[in-house]
């Protein structure tokens, strides 16, 4: 997995690392602002991974179980591709956190196009009220734990998933920029203990798992909640 510059260390990193970090930020910003996901990932090497727990420096080997939100039973291999159907499924899960599904689609990551049989689900969450950077940072973990692992348990054909937090009351002519991106594949979900992991543990996990990508705009990374979790 390519090494990343810590969120707070760009200014002191070597020039080559700074360039790599900037390119990564551009890719993720584009992904959440577009109708389709434009990030790419190298499929992780199959392995038996330990489970990442609350403590960021500790790896444990317990098997995590899903005790989070539930979805209606279905025999479908994939989620429905229509926004209305996806919103009907997921709005009840995210409304208690103060969000609604603003956009959603299935993606074919080989072509980066929306398609009814895409194996990647992209969700874009719009706040119901204005939120501070600290609130976005706090909600980031809650949102991740709302969707995984239940979303992969529900649809066995789904290979990967991302969810973006978007600005409140966006009035731009184009799609709103993503303030955060949480992107994970099926291979990586089982390596994290979703019952105990905290934001610090999730940020730590990104450096350990090839199939987990996390992005946050500078205003979110500067929030005290995020900085405390990142150890800055």
Mean pLDDT for the chain?
Answer: 78
How confident is the model over 41-85, as pLDDT tens digits? 333 333 333 445 544 333 322 233 444 566 766 668 999 999 999
Least confident of 35-49, 81-95, 122-136, 150-164: 35-49
Point out the least confidently predicted range of 23-27, 157-161, 225-229. 23-27
Write out the two tokens for 124: 């874009």
- What's the pLDDT score for residue 29? 43
Which of 33-47, 91-105, 188-202 has the lowest average pLDDT?
33-47
Residue 141 CB neighbours (<10 A): 20
**Separation of alpha carbons 63 and 221, rounded Å:** 31
What mean pLDDT comes out for the span 79-101?
A: 96
Rounded-to-integer distance, Cα 162 and Cα 170, Å:
21
Of 12-16, 31-35, 180-184, 203-207, the range with the lowest mean pLDDT is 12-16
pLDDT over 70 percentage in the chain: 68
The pLDDT value given to residue 114: 95
Share of the chain above pLDDT 90, in %: 62
pLDDT at 33: 53
Give the closest residue to 103 by CA, choosing from 31, 202, 24: 31
The tokens 């429905």 sit on which residue?
80
SS (H, E, C) 110-130: CCCEECCCCCEEEEEEEECCC
Cβ-based neighbours of 74, under 8 Å, separated by 6 or more: 154, 155
* pLDDT tens digits, 107-132: 999 998 999 999 999 999 999 999 99
Task: Determine how β-strand 180-185 pairs with β-strand 113-114.
Answer: unpaired
């Amino acid at each position: 997995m390519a090494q990343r510059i810590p969120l707070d260390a760009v200014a002191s990193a070597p020039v080559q690392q700074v360039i790599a970090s900037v390119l990564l930020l551009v890719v993720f910003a584009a992904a959440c602002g577009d109708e389709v996901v434009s990030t790419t990932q190298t499929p992780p090497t199959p392995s038996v991974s330990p489970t990442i727990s609350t403590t960021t420096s500790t790896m444990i080997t317990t098997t995590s179980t899903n005790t989070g939100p539930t979805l209606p039973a279905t025999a479908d291999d994939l989620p429905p591709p229509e926004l209305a159907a996806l919103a009907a499924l997921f709005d009840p899960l995210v409304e208690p956190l103060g969000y609604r599904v603003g956009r959603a689609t299935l993606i074919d990551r080989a072509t980066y196009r929306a398609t009814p049989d895409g194996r990647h689900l992209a969700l874009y969450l719009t706040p119901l009220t204005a939120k501070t950077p600290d609130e976005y940072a706090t909600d980031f973990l809650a949102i991740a734990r709302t969707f995984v692992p239940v979303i992969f348990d529900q649809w066995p054909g789904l290979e990967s998933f991302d969810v973006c937090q978007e600005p409140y009351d966006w009035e731009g002519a184009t799609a709103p920029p993503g303030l955060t991106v949480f992107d994970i594949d099926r291979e990586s979900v089982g390596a994290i203990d979703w019952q105990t992991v905290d934001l610090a543990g999730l940020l730590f996990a990104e450096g350990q798992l090839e199939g987990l990508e996390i992005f946050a705009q500078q205003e979110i990374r500067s929030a005290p909640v995020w900085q405390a979790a990142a150890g800055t």
